[in-house]
Amino acid sequence: MSNATSERATRDAIDRFNDRLRLARASELALARRYIEAEALVLGGGKRPSCEGYDLLARIQVRNGRFSQAKASWGKSLETGGNEDRIRDYLAALAAHEERVFKRRLIVWRLTLLLWILFTCLAAWLSFRFLLIT
């Protein structure tokens, strides 16, 4: 093996080690709820995050309620060759959550409309009744 090939292999091994170390530190920061720092660490380094990096980024984004960004991050994780079954399960769970939130908001909206109609009718009835008394 030539000296240049050996140096290249050593550099690649060091880069992989540094990437794993950065990801581990970002995981620790995320567990400590220091999400902004964790995101910066995953996205920093001057190169594209690994599959695990995008996965961690998506989990942080879910924790912060940024579901569309999490979908995009998990999509990028799939593109980089991640554990497809696990990520597809996460995406399915996220879609189910969004559907539940939509249904809940729809129920709240309908109840609000119903109460508004009820109070409007009550106010009209009371006004009409008041006019009859006077």
Range in 54-58, 81-85, 111-115 the model is least confident about = 81-85
Structural domain harbouring 131: 91-134
pLDDT in tens, 18-66: 888 888 999 999 999 999 999 888 888 677 888 888 989 999 999 998 9
The tally of domains found in the chain comes to 2
Mean pLDDT of the chain: 88
User: 35: helix, coil or strand?
Assistant: helix
50 lies in the same domain as 111: no
133 lies in the same domain as 68: no
20 lies in the same domain as 37: yes
2 lies in the same domain as 51: yes
1 lies in the same domain as 57: yes
Q: Is the pLDDT of residue 71 over 80?
A: yes
Q: Beta-carbon neighbour count of residue 67 at 10 Å?
A: 16
77 lies in the same domain as 95: no
Whole-prediction pTM = 0.69
User: 107: helix, coil or strand?
Assistant: helix
Decide: residue 5, CB within 10 A, 0-12 exposed, 13-18 middle, 19+ buried.
exposed
5 lies in the same domain as 66: yes
Q: Is the pLDDT of residue 92 over 70?
A: yes
Give the residue with greater pLDDT, 35 vs 3: 35
Q: Is the pLDDT of residue 1 over 60?
A: no
50 lies in the same domain as 105: no
- Mean pLDDT, range 101-114, rounded to an integer: 96
* Residue 93 CA: distances (Å) to CA of 27, 62, 81, 127: 21, 11, 20, 51
Please say which residue of 55, 82, 109 terminates a domain: 82
pLDDT of residue 102: 92
Tokens of 129: 């009744």
22 lies in the same domain as 60: yes
Give the residue with greater pLDDT, 99 vs 134: 99
- Mean pLDDT, range 13-18, rounded to an integer: 85
108 lies in the same domain as 75: no
76 lies in the same domain as 103: no
Q: Is the pLDDT of residue 134 over 70?
A: no
5 lies in the same domain as 65: yes
